[in-house]
């Protein structure tokens, strides 16, 4: 069990200096414990997380800047700065930056399960098919892209 450590993670730093590069997005770890995991995300224009399902975690996205097109259980919507996106476990979702500008957000999941280990493993990989294959070993199932 990993207990949450009280303190402040500075704006320009990662918790334990952890920063991941996952398929063109930069994720800076902000908090890690058994019960939750949080990271600051930078999505350059045109990047996305394909539709997938977390069967054992709820996921949240607080939009800081830019906008995200959210695919949630077959429906599309847009999340803007100040919006909180709630992605319930077991519900398929995808996150897309189609805005033409960089978007930033704070993501978190609860409970953490093996997501940090997955991010450690896939950081700096360039092959999306291999990322999808490995993710299936960590309770994340990717779906075919929406039409």
Asked if the peptide bond before residue 111 counts as cis, ω within 30 degrees of 0, the response is yes
| pLDDT for residue 5 | 87
pLDDT tens-digit series, residues 1-58: 888 889 999 999 999 999 999 999 999 999 999 999 999 999 999 999 999 999 999 9
Instruction: Using the predicted structure, report yes or no on whether residue 145 has a pLDDT greater than 80.
Output: no
Paired with 21 in beta bridges are 26
Q: Is 144 helix (H, G, I), strand (E, B) or coil?
A: coil
| pLDDT for residue 137 | 95
| pLDDT for residue 102 | 98
Q: In angstroms, rounded to a whole number, what is the distance separating the alpha carbons of residues 59 and 136?
A: 17
Global pTM?
0.94
Report the pLDDT averaged over residues 110-130: 95
| pLDDT for residue 146 | 52
Q: In angstroms, rounded to a whole number, what is the distance separating the alpha carbons of residues 33 and 96?
A: 27
- Closest by CA to 52, choosing from 23, 81, 30, 80, is 23
Two tokens, residue 126: 């360039």
pLDDT tens-digit series, residues 70-110: 999 989 999 999 999 999 999 999 999 999 999 999 999 99
């Amino acid at each position: 069990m990993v207990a949450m450590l009280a303190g402040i993670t500075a704006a320009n730093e990662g918790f334990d200096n952890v920063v991941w590069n996952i398929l063109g997005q930069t994720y800076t770890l902000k908090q890690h414990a058994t019960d939750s995991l949080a990271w600051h995300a930078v999505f350059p224009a045109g990047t996305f997380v394909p539709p997938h399902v977390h069967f054992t975690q709820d996921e949240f996205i607080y939009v800081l800047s830019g906008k995200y097109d959210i695919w949630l259980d077959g429906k599309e919507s847009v999340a803007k700065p100040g919006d909180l996106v709630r992605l319930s476990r077991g519900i398929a979702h995808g996150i897309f930056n189609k805005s033409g500008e960089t978007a930033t957000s704070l993501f978190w999941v609860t409970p953490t399960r093996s997501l940090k280990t997955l991010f450690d493993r896939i950081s700096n990989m360039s092959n999306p098919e291999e990322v999808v294959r490995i993710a299936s070993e960590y309770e994340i199932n990717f779906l075919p892209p929406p039409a």
